[in-house]
A and B are shown apart, each in its own frame.
Chain A
Amino acid sequence: MYSRQLLIFQSMKVIIIDDEPLARSIIREYLQFHPELELIGECNDGFEGVKSIQQHQPDLIFLDVQMPKINGFEMLELVEEPPAVIFTTAFDEYAIKAFESHAVDYLLKPFSRDRFDKAIAKWNLAGKSVSSKEQLAPLLDSVSSSPAEQHRVVVKLAGKIRIIPIEEIHYLEAADDYVKIHTREGAFLKNKTMGHFESVLNKTLFVRTHRSYMVNITEITRIDPYEKDNHLAILKSGGRVPVSKTGYSKLKSVLGL
């Protein structure tokens, strides 16, 4: 009796994030057979998902990949401390390839109760790892070069989620563990490295002009000399972006000078 009480006391919090009500209901149904898992929330989309995760700090989430506005991966990027994730998807070759190469568990819809139970067992075995940030990072890095995500960057500012088309980015600036994304409407912080953006963003549009800077070449109005071998790129917005010696030669080759 005591052990059962302990089990209930230790119950794990679960959230389902999926835009289709019936897809949520089948997970809800399967969860009934796992009394140790307590369903504390259901979300219709990524925006609700981010809010709910922050509010409830779940141990495990079931996350659909294709959802309105922002997909499951983009949602995860916005969460500070992502919980353990079991992805669900109907069909998305790109995502499935990413899951396989990073050994992340996922459920293909429609899935059986057996398959569902196995996923739960696997998560139990992995020690119900809460800090999955390190685990998820390589996955998120690889999917953010997917065709859909190359065209936009999803950021969060003061609790509000913004989707920035990459053409609207003026320049990027490294800031400690973050990258500062400068746009017409101000700067947004994203928890990524410059190297990540360098590999993801279109190389004919963005040039790494400096160790800590990348610039949208369509925003440049002129390039001025600045101290010794360095230059300064002056942007339409009035912004000034440092250009190193190697950055200058890269810039010249992209601009065809």
Chain B
Amino acid sequence: MHYGFSVNIAMVDSITTNGLLLGACWIISNILRYYLPYSDRYWYILILSIIFSLVVNALSKFILNLILIDSASTEYLIFLSNSYWIRLGLAFLLVGCMAVICVLWYTQEEEQENRQRKNDAEKLSRDAELYKLRQQLQPHFLFNSLNSISALIGSDPSQARNMIHQLSDFLRTTLRKEEEEWVKMEEELQSLELYLEIEKVRFGHRLSTTILKDEKSLQMLIPPMLLQPVVENAIKFGLYDTTDAVTIYISVSSENDSLRVIVQNPFDPETANPRHGTGFGLNSVKRRLYLLFARTDLVETSAKEHVFTTTINIPKHESYHNR
């Protein structure tokens, strides 16, 4: 294809047109990196490509006219205006191809990320199981409970027997193999109550609990043993950072289909020193919820006037309900 134009003009034309096309492709790939249309809206891409090729064409025509108006022959200017549709077609093809490639690439990338997250979630639930075993079979808790039982055998045998039952029920819950991934809030609360009953025997009058629950929330689902580290944290803060009597407050409620759990414990701001941070237990809860929902705002903590509050929101998650 030789139209007899000078090399100079041919160069200016191709650099301008191709440069603008390159720019358009770059912008499109950036748009699609941050915004991928849903599969039923792929016609967005068609419109986007048409708009971009129109803009590229108009711009290149404008710029070429501007630069070459003096130096170029009239033949070239005529050629420029005659080749409009060919240029538009080529631009559309190129931009369209780029858009399709980007959509494919980023969709695949997103899918890979989802798969990764799901794998992580599964791995974490296994890890949580191990961690939970370690935690609940937490030697300190276990041996102290056994010591309490040993003391009760002398003074109050029937209470000793009662505590053995509570301890075995609790240990059984923690050892139970989960067949379903999520459990009813009711079950989760029962296991928490068992744990708290044992701690109450150990700490005597110092520990009391208030548990508020609404009927609807009890039937809702929750990842098993999610709350255990939170309550342990509350006990640790409450019983080991103060010397007074301690009330742990737990409230479970349903809010627009999602579960809200609030755990409160007293603490001493002067000695609840920074090493506790938010606690290892709370971090594991945050991480678990992040892997399940890809959200970091589900766990909130606040410390106000000697009361430490942990609020956990658990969204409804259909795919887990169906398993």
State A92–B206 Cα separation when bound (angstroms).
Answer: 23
| A to B contact number (C-beta, < 8 Å) | 82
Residues of A within 8 A of B268 (CB): 69
Find B155's partner among A19, A29, A69, A108 (CB 8 Å cutoff): A29
Residues of B within 8 A of A67 (CB): 240
Residues in chain B within 8 A of chain A (CB atoms): 139-140, 142-144, 146-152, 154-155, 201-206, 239-243, 268, 270-271, 273-275
For residue B7, give the distance in angstroms from its CB to the closest CB of chain A: 61
State A23–B144 Cα separation when bound (angstroms).
Answer: 8
* A221 in the interface (beta carbon within 8 A): no
Is the CB–CB distance between B140 and A29 below 8 Å? no
Chain A minimum-CB-distance residue to B163: A22
Is the CB–CB distance between B270 and A68 below 8 Å? no
For residue A227, give the distance in angstroms from its CB to the closest CB of chain B: 39
Show 24 A/B contacts (Cβ-Cβ < 8 Å), sorted by A.
A19-B203, A19-B206, A20-B202, A22-B151, A23-B144, A23-B147, A23-B148, A25-B154, A26-B150, A47-B243, A66-B140, A69-B240, A69-B241, A90-B143, A91-B140, A91-B142, A109-B143, A109-B144, A109-B147, A110-B143, A110-B150, A152-B271, A152-B273, A163-B273
Find B143's partner among A68, A91, A151 (CB 8 Å cutoff): A91
Which residues between 210 and 257 of chain A lie within 8 Å of chain B, taking CB atoms?
none
For residue A170, give the distance in angstroms from its CB to the closest CB of chain B: 17
Contact with B along A185-220 (1 / 0, CB 8 A): 000000000000000000000000000000000000
Is the CB–CB distance between B144 and A20 below 8 Å? yes
Chain A minimum-CB-distance residue to B148: A22
State A152–B205 Cα separation when bound (angstroms).
Answer: 29
Find B243's partner among A26, A45, A90, A110 (CB 8 Å cutoff): A45
Which residues between 109 and 154 of chain A lie within 8 Å of chain B, taking CB atoms?
109-110, 148, 151-152
The binding surface of chain B is classed by DSSP as: helix
Knowing A20-B202, A20-B203, A26-B147 touch, does A165 contact B241 (C-beta < 8 A)? Answer: no
* A21 in the interface (beta carbon within 8 A): yes
Residues in chain A within 8 A of chain B (CB atoms): 19-23, 25-26, 29, 44-45, 47, 66-69, 90-92, 108-110, 148, 151-152, 163, 165, 167
For residue B36, give the distance in angstroms from its CB to the closest CB of chain A: 47
Across the A-B interface, give the 5 residue pairs with the lowest CB-CB distance, nearest first: A90-B143, A109-B147, A26-B151, A91-B139, A22-B151
Residues of B within 8 A of A22 (CB): 147-148, 151-152, 201-202, 204
For residue B128, give the distance in angstroms from its CB to the closest CB of chain A: 22
